[in-house]
Amino acid sequence: MELTVIGKYGPYGKEKNGCASCYLVKNDEDLLVMDMGSGTLSRLMGFVDIKKVKDIFISHLHYDHTSDLLPFRYLLEDLNHKVNIYTHKEDSAWYGILFNHPNFNIINIDENTEITLGSMTLNFLEMKHTVTDYAVIIKGEKTLCYTGDTLYNDNIPLCFEECSTVLADCSKPEGFKGPHMNINDAKALANKYKKNIIATHLSVDYDPTEALKEQENITVAEEMKTYIL
Ligand SMILES: [Zn+2]
């Protein structure tokens, strides 16, 4: 199983060459795109033939995880290509604006949903953010969880129990007050579960690499890098 970090910043990209959230998972020949934040579509096109992308998971509907779905619709029209979008049902104007398009096949997910994508199965766990956010648990040759955006919550232990690698929103500095885990959460989880954490969703003005460099089991996500899990 491979994980490529297309974009890792939030709530907006970094000057010149940093993009908001988007990740690409490959297991055998099966692909899953996870979130599609600002600036990520053109990068994604550099990693994969878009005609081979059939499945997209959207963790939650904040703009930094969804905004490139809008230009993506133009590309899908030009390619005459349709994709499945796995996301929770939300009664909001943004949900309608984003997803009401004939080239999107929307499949609503919750904690009871199981999706099979060829060699991968997907399950979902609700997280804790300012809007509804789901983590996805991917089981293929390896096991990977992507948390989307979240504070620590009662489902986080399940992410670690089920998966050998967790791509986690845990890169904010100590004392950060927003709805994300910080580096102290990351250290505590790494020490408790001894699983691999790829820390992502970085702020543009804070790089956690130095603070986490002595910590075992944590890697800070690098954009345009493919991790062999
Ligand atoms: Zn968010």
| pLDDT value at residue 45 | 98
d(CA 117, CA 144): 14
Give yes or no for a cis peptide into 102 (omega within 30° of 0): no
d(CA 62, CA 188): 27
| pLDDT value at residue 76 | 98
Cα 28 to averaged position of ligand 1 atoms, centre (Å)? 30
In the predicted model, what is the mean pLDDT of residues 212-224? 96
Q: Name the pLDDT band for 30 (thresholds 50, 70, 90).
A: very high
Cα 175 to averaged position of ligand 1 atoms, centre (Å)? 18
Q: Name the pLDDT band for 141 (thresholds 50, 70, 90).
A: very high
In the predicted model, what is the mean pLDDT of residues 94-122? 98
Q: Name the pLDDT band for 82 (thresholds 50, 70, 90).
A: very high
Cα 211 to averaged position of ligand 1 atoms, centre (Å)? 23
**Quick one: fold of 2-228?**
Metallo-beta-lactamase; Chain A (3.60.15)
User: Do 144 and 165 contact (CB within 8 A), yes or no?
Assistant: yes
In the predicted model, what is the mean pLDDT of residues 136-162? 98
| pLDDT value at residue 201 | 98
Cα 22 to averaged position of ligand 1 atoms, centre (Å)? 13
User: Do 156 and 128 contact (CB within 8 A), yes or no?
Assistant: no
Mean of pLDDT over the chain: 97
| pLDDT value at residue 188 | 97
In the predicted model, what is the mean pLDDT of residues 64-70? 98
Closest CA to 55 of 77, 90, 23, 78: 23
Cα 19 to averaged position of ligand 1 atoms, centre (Å)? 14
| pLDDT value at residue 91 | 94
| pLDDT value at residue 80 | 98
Question: Over pLDDT 90: what percentage of the chain?
Answer: 99
Task: Tell me the pTM.
Answer: 0.97
The residue with tokens 């990351």 is 186
